[in-house]
Amino acid sequence: MSRLFEPVTLGSLRLKNRLVMTAMSTCFAGPGGEVTDRLVEYYATRAGGGVGLITVEEAYIHPQLPHVKNALGVFGSHLIPGLQRVTRRIHENGSRASLQIGLYFRQALNGFPRYAASSKAPDCSAGCKELTPEEIQYLTGLYADAAERAREARFDAIEIHACHGCLVAEFLSPYWNHRDDEYGGSQSGRFRFALEILKMIRNRLGDEYPLLFRISGSEFTPDGFTPEDAVALSKELENGGLSAVSVSGGLGHVNHIAIPPGDVPRGLLLPIGKQIRSEVNVPVIIGNSMTPKMAAEAVSSGMADLIGIGRPLIADPQWPHKVKAGRANEIRHCLRCNQGCFGALQDESRPYIRCMYNPEVGREFECPIQEAESKKKIIVIGGGPAGCEVARVSKIRGHRVVLLEKSAFLGGQINLAAATPAKSDFRKMVEFYAGELKRLQVDVRLGTEATDELLKSLTADVYVFAIGSRPVKPPIPGVDLPHVILAWEVLAGKIQLPEGPVAVIGGGASGLETADFIADGHHSVTVIEMLNTAGRDIQPGIGVREGLMQRLEEKQVKIFTGYRAVKIEEDGVIISDRPLIGGGNETRVPAGRVVLALGMQSPLSEQRPDLPDQAMWYRVGDCRNPGNAIQAIHQAFDLAIRI
């Protein structure tokens, strides 16, 4: 069996295996940092999936300094009983619990003044208060107070957050820390705050209590914290009595190594982990985009002692059990889309994290999937993500389900998304649904278009339409010329583009991703977008948009924003800088092929389709309101738990 499942000890703490759930803020706590049922059962479910150690998300140590909305708190003794509920449920489900303790001024939400390691830090142009040595000592005490509370709440270990641009990381990093007193200047000056925290916690909790630091292996930034810094810091921490070091990377919100989207290579931190491991004796935990295969290899080849896994456990808490049982093919793999999880942290309108295609995340406490009281026959029309999710949940609830899909495969538009350069992980979603529907023995009929006659002949109690949306073809003069094609046709590989210039009309997500797909060195690509900003429908700040825009720049894709395509000609597109009705300055964009990416519309009318009189019918996903997959899947789930 893989060494991943061999026991290991972190100081005095024995773990049943070498898998560690890394800290991830959920926003499931209450407004005052208190534990909620939602938070408790989310962690209990992950513990039940077989992971050896759960690092409960970063808890804030000063009442005015939560780092995200509804962050978990550990700043007062009134919070201890709630935290005890978390540890009790994690222990009952067979795992061990660690609490990450941290402090951010940069992300502080309550309007608290921005203090910093250094007022000369790159993001302090608007003014930061540089912490004085007295203030630093006060904060050191807050870490130690929080550590004592964590132990009282029966956490088996604590972890100090010291990467991703949090306060300790600011001190450690030459990128942020430009002090010239004893807390800066040299490497040992930069390390002082971290080491003083360690020392004070050790003084208060003794030598035995398991104590971890989560550090950066590299900030991957010019002038940032380097692998050499990471090795030196790990040695110093080991000398100070550290039990294990957990290695992450990046600079938090400044670059996207910390929570990498799908275009960042996997395993970036492994060589650094190996380097640290060769220089220290304490166990080294390495995470960041690990697949089961990479995790097993990293442990067996000695690159890491333990493997940190984050988002894969949001998507599928059973990841460890499935890997151990040789059922890795059944995992609901994380797509590194960052849409549901990281995206929620960056978006004030969303209360807490969710997952693209695990709609149970955050709802574990209410056990949303229950056996149906009356079993029905359900016909699902369309095998995109919405149809697959309705079929999956309905079958689990005991209904008889038939799924009709007109094409030869499941997945709908997800197959197109997976064809684009940064989203190949999306293929895993299609594989998951295909595997689950087979395992659940859903009657899936591929290559079967649902016509009125067929639907009538398959009498059922419930019909769920999940037939997706269709690309809009606007009445631009020349739109029917033979060289005008749809982005879908390009991404589906139905059309090979001859060499030469290509114009993409529409600079939303699918237009830009299609441009990214086409711009391969043989085609010069121009995108024409009517709005002032291209890619407005891609959430900023979670790495996806940033990576895409950077690639388009590198591939020299030209983007015209604020321009309307007024006419398509045989070898070009006429565009106008008066997007309302055209006119003004007109420019000609040369194009041997013109690709349309102008949004989606539903093919269904509001009217009841021609169905048996007594039957119920519903619409879900893009055919109800064209949007995105996460919306389609969650809508499908919400319907399926009610039928």
Ligand X SMILES: Cc1cc2nc3c(=O)[nH]c(=O)nc-3n(C[C@H](O)[C@H](O)[C@H](O)COP(=O)(O)OP(=O)(O)OC[C@H]3O[C@@H](n4cnc5c(N)ncnc54)[C@H](O)[C@@H]3O)c2cc1C
Ligand Y SMILES: Cc1cc2nc3c(=O)[nH]c(=O)nc-3n(C[C@H](O)[C@H](O)[C@H](O)COP(=O)(O)O)c2cc1C
| Site residues for ligand SF4 per CB under 6 A | 311, 314-315, 334-341, 355-356
Q: How far is the CB of 634 from ligand Y (least distance, A)?
A: 17
Min separation Cβ 139 and ligand Y, Å = 18
Q: Which CB sits closer to ligand X, 149 or 593? A: 593
Residue from 387, 508, 543, 572 touching ligand X (CB under 6 A): that is: 387
Confirm or reject binding of residue 405 to ligand X (CB under 6 A): yes
Residues 162-191 that bind ligand Y (CB under 6 A): 164
Q: Is 575 in the site for ligand X (CB under 6 A)?
A: no
Asked if 355 is part of the footprint of ligand X (rule: CB under 6 A), the reply reads: no
Choose among ligand Y, ligand X, ligand SF4, none what residue 24 binds, the Cβ cut-off being 5 to 8 Å by kind.
ligand Y
Alpha-helix runs per DSSP H in 353-451: 385-396, 414-419, 427-439
User: How would you label 251-262 residue by residue, b for 16+ Cβ within 10 Å and e otherwise?
Assistant: bbbbbbbbbbbb
Candidate list 353, 419, 430, 598; residue touching ligand Y; CB under 6 A: 353
What residue type is 424 in one-letter code?
S
CA dist 527 and 517 (Å) reads 13
The answer to whether residues 338 and 259 touch, using CB atoms and an 8 Å cutoff, is yes
- Residue type for position 465: F
By CB under 6 A, residue 516 contacts ligand X: no
For residues 333 and 593, which CB has a smaller minimum distance to ligand Y in the complex?
A: 333
Binding flags for ligand Y, 210-249, as an x/- string (CB under 6 A): ----x---------------------------------x-
Binding residue (CB under 6 A) for ligand Y from 8, 19, 24, 597: 24
Q: Tell me, what amino acid is at 208?
A: E
Instruction: Please choose which of ligand SF4, ligand Y, ligand X, none residue 435 contacts, taking the beta carbon within 5 to 8 angstroms, the exact cut-off set by kind.
Output: none
Is there a contact between 410 and 430 (Cβ–Cβ < 8 Å)?
yes
- Interface residues for ligand Y in 63-102 (CB under 6 A)? 100
Binder of ligand Y out of 106, 149, 311, 593 (CB under 6 A) = 311
Indicate which of ligand SF4, ligand Y, ligand X, none lies near residue 57 (CB less than 5 to 8 Å, by partner kind). ligand Y
Looking only at residues 26 through 65 of this chain, which bind ligand Y when binding is defined by CB under 6 A?
57-58
* Cα separation, 227 vs 217, whole angstroms: 5
Task: Report the distance separating Cα 515 and Cα 495, nearest Å.
Answer: 14
DSSP string computed for 206-252? -SSS-EEEEEES---STTS--HHHHHHHHHHHHHTT-SEEEEE-S-T
x-or-dash string of contact with ligand Y, 248-277, rule CB under 6 A: x---------xx------------------
**Using the rule CB under 6 A, is 386 a contact of ligand X?**
yes
Q: Does 382 bind ligand X (CB under 6 A)?
A: yes
Q: Measured between alpha carbons, how far is 528 from 504 in angstroms, rounded to an integer?
A: 6
Q: For the segment 564-623, give every residue that binds ligand Y (CB under 6 A).
A: none
Q: How many angstroms separate the Cα of 563 from the Cα of each of 241, 478, 598?
A: 62, 17, 14
C-alpha span between 411 and 413 (Å, rounded): 6
Q: Which of 41, 99, 14 is nearest to 317 (CA)?
A: 41
